[in-house]
Structure 1
Amino acid sequence: MNASRAPSPAKKLALAIVHEPERSTPAPLGAREELLRSLLQTASDGGVNLVATRPDGDGERLLGQAWPFPSPFQVTISTVPISDGVDRVEARARRSLERLGLPRGDTLLVSCATDLAGAEGQALWSRLSELKARGLFRRIGFRATIADGPVLLARRFQPDVVQLPINLLDQRAQRTGVLSELAALGVEVHAASVFADGLLFFGGEALPPEMARHAHELSRIRRRLAEARVDPMQATLAYALSQPEVGRVIASVASAAELRAVLAAAHAPTPNLNWDAMQLEPATATAAGPNSRGSGRVSSAA
């Protein structure tokens, strides 16, 4: 059974903008800024209003230079590792806002749930709570995998937001009841890794070495999609968007063209698919964790 999709899927979408050279279009700095402005304008025109960022690389600064004014976007920021110390975590979160050119952010997420499970977890959470109380961030939360025990962490820390890998190939968050339990706690779930690192877009010979043993199963899933005349991107987005407990579905894009492909797939009618038949076996299901590039990739599908 497929859940009904929300009337405006773009409102449920969020973006993680990829700046790495292997994904983005090679261009001089000035041209890169113009391409980023075009991407952001496409997002704004399409009704997308949340951008997820990370503190590595130069992405925050580039975004800060490219925002349209007035900006229609809210921003989710991730912390640096707790190994740098709690003071450093706070300083870097403030620095992220400065680089983005924003007085405040929407959400501050602990980048790795294991930081909260460690000895300094409570001190870290207290520091994030202080930043929220001061109005620098509207909400706080954490990024996690199913193996991190997100429900137990949510009961302990009472976050506003939890970001989890959720995709067609790895449906454990929904199948094990994690999504419904988080919803019962009043937590908004953000779905990351929705394209499962592009696994459905690769042929068997192009699979990463660690996934080669799943080539037959992935081929079976692609064949089922082809028989149903459903594009893999449409299917992966439809699965994530159809989960009622998911508040945001994060898609990584490197260009306005990729974003237009995502928006078109998100607005397509929900396919009549048996989701159970589309997942990898639970024992072998894979998804990028919270320390991957964040949201899966459009890859060659765009």
Structure 2
Amino acid sequence: MIEKKLVLGTANFGNYYGSISKKFIKEAEAKKIIVFCEKKQINIIETSPDYKDAEKILGRIGCKNFRVVTKIPKIEENISIEANYIEKKLNSSLINLKKKNIYALMFRNPLNYIDKNKKKLWEEAKELKKRGIIEKLGITIYDPAELEESFHILRPDLVQFPYNLFDRRIESSGWLNFLYQNNVETHCRSIFLQGLLLRNNEELPLSFSKYEKVWHEYYKWLNKNNINTLEACLNLVINNEKILKIVVGIEDIKQLESILLIKRKKINFPFWDNIINKELIDPRKW
């Protein structure tokens, strides 16, 4: 069942997220989604203090029956790190969420935590794990190259990475197989590339028309295989046993219902690496 693989992303709970979507989820709608997820046994929520009020909204709605994955807020380069920095940040999240512990604490930009000064933050988080406040420690990456230097130093329990029809670097690099073989929990995000992969040609923003060759190949492949965009995006991940969880962001319950209706299909997925521009698959560069 696809439900068992899903993680509810909350970046747009009470907040505009991304450069394409013009919608955010109001608290009343968020409550309906949480109730729906609980009913469907989607029991992991991904959030962050950087998602503005998302943690507070979850706390007000109530997420006691969910395992929560949250993140350490972005740390400025020249900021002085105070004592118990991680514990203080985590306590703030726990207060917002109205929880006593969380499933996983995620660190962005793992390369920042391999130098002597900032590695102590990771070590502090490991102590919180020993105390049972955190079940798993993880890192979130944009590029598998980040794992080359950081993985063997940090040894995370969980890795979150982008993975979609246009971006299969975690797979082609060999890292997905490595993580799977070493029992590291794998969570993929950006399976719809912020919704771009669900749009037809006429709906694409003008700024993406410069990637005309890529879109042409994509739509041609969909037509040849007689599948729609949602089927294609989801089957790439639900059929991959090496990916344990899929973080999905939605705008309303209807979108989640559509996702749950998707059936598994045997599909031969092409690699478009030779025509994919890195700017297209990295939303930070849009």
TM-score (ref. length: structure 2): 0.86
Q: 2: distance between equivalents of 1:47 and 1:282?
A: 39
From 143, 150, 159, give the equivalent of 2:156: 159
Alpha-carbon distance, 1:201 to partner: 2.6
Q: Secondary structure at the match of 2:274?
A: coil
> Residue 138 of structure 1 aligns to which amino acid in structure 2?
E
From 167, 172, 181, give the equivalent of 1:170: 167
**Alignment pair present for 1:281 and 2:274:** yes
**Alignment pair present for 1:59 and 2:54:** yes
* CA gap 1:254/1:92 in 2 versus in 1, 3 angstroms: farther
Q: Name stretches of at least 5 consecutive residues in structure 1 with no aligned partner.
A: 1-7, 26-31, 293-302
From 3, 7, 10, give the equivalent of 1:10: 3
Q: Secondary structure at the match of 2:48?
A: coil
Q: 1: distance between equivalents of 2:275 and 2:220?
A: 20
Aligned residue for 1:73?
Answer: 66
> Residue 12 of structure 1 aligns to which amino acid in structure 2?
K
Contact 1:81–1:115 at 8 Å: present in 2 too? no
Q: 2: distance between equivalents of 1:125 and 1:209?
A: 42
**Alignment pair present for 1:241 and 2:235:** no
Alpha-carbon distance, 1:166 to partner: 0.9
> Residue 64 of structure 1 aligns to which amino acid in structure 2?
G
Deviations along 1:211-230, one digit per CA (max 9) or x if unpaired, are: 43212321321232133221
Aligned residue for 1:101?
Answer: 98
Contact 2:47–2:69 at 8 Å: present in 1 too? yes
Aligned residue for 1:269?
Answer: 264
Q: Secondary structure at the match of 1:131?
A: helix
Contact 1:113–1:148 at 8 Å: present in 2 too? no
From 191, 196, 202, give the equivalent of 1:194: 191
Q: Secondary structure at the match of 1:276?
A: coil
Alpha-carbon distance, 1:282 to partner: 6.5
Aligned residue for 1:5?
Answer: none
Q: 2: distance between equivalents of 1:201 and 1:51?
A: 23
**Alignment pair present for 1:224 and 2:231:** no
Percent sequence identity over aligned pairs: 21
Q: 1: distance between equivalents of 2:212 and 2:62?
A: 41
From 112, 126, 131, give the equivalent of 2:128: 131
Deviations along 1:273-297, one digit per CA (max 9) or x if unpaired, are: 22125x35365254346x79xxxxx
Q: 2: distance between equivalents of 1:269 and 1:164?
A: 22
Q: 2: distance between equivalents of 1:98 and 1:123?
A: 24
Aligned residue for 1:23?
Answer: 23
Higher relative contact order (CA 8 A, sep 6+): 1
Q: 1: distance between equivalents of 2:183 and 2:254?
A: 36
Q: 1: distance between equivalents of 2:180 and 2:148?
A: 10
Q: Which moved more, 1:137-146 or 1:89-98?
A: 89-98
Q: Name stretches of at least 5 consecutive residues in structure 2 with no aligned partner.
A: 17-21
TM-score (ref. length: structure 1): 0.81
* CA gap 1:186/1:282 in 2 versus in 1, 3 angstroms: farther
Contact 1:204–1:215 at 8 Å: present in 2 too? no
Deviations along 1:77-118, one digit per CA (max 9) or x if unpaired, are: 100123353644431222111101111000000022232244
Q: 2: distance between equivalents of 1:90 and 1:211?
A: 42
Contact 2:239–2:264 at 8 Å: present in 1 too? no
Q: 1: distance between equivalents of 2:275 and 2:167?
A: 7
Q: Cα RMSD (Å) of the superposition?
A: 2.4
Number of residue pairs matched by the alignment: 272
Contact 1:78–1:111 at 8 Å: present in 2 too? yes
Q: Which moved more, 1:169-178 or 1:210-219?
A: 210-219
> Residue 23 of structure 2 aligns to which amino acid in structure 1?
R
